[in-house]
Amino acid sequence: MPDTAEDFEAKFDLETLTRAQEIMNNPGRVARAKQFAEAQRDRMNEAAKNLGTGTRVSNMVRGSRMQPKG
């Protein structure tokens, strides 16, 4: 029986949750993931500034539960 879109989505969600739990149980990985996300946000802000569109990325990384700075 072929996988349906719902089956694929449920499997992807479970894998994502499992990886997130593994990361959350390792403080060093949490810190590195947060640094990476902040660096990505900063690069996106810089790219938006260079485009001159005035678009800014919020202090929160989309889809994350990390707290914004300050």
Convert the pLDDT of each residue in 4-61 to its tens digit.
877 878 888 889 889 888 888 888 888 888 899 999 999 998 888 877 655 555 555 5
Residue 65 lies in a domain: no
Q: Name the residue with higher pLDDT: 65 or 31.
A: 31
Residue 40 lies in a domain: yes
Whether residue 44 contacts residue 57, with contact meaning beta carbons closer than 8 Å, is answered with yes
Residue 55 lies in a domain: yes
Structural domain count of the chain: 1
Whether residue 34 contacts residue 41, with contact meaning beta carbons closer than 8 Å, is answered with no
Type of residue numbered 28: G
Q: What is the pLDDT of residue 30?
A: 82
Distance of CA 31 to the CA centre of its chain: 13
Q: Could you give the CA distance from residue 19 to residue 68 in angstroms, rounded to a whole number?
A: 22
Q: What is the pLDDT of residue 57?
A: 54
Q: Could you give the CA distance from residue 3 to residue 48 in angstroms, rounded to a whole number?
A: 39
Q: What is the pTM of this model?
A: 0.43
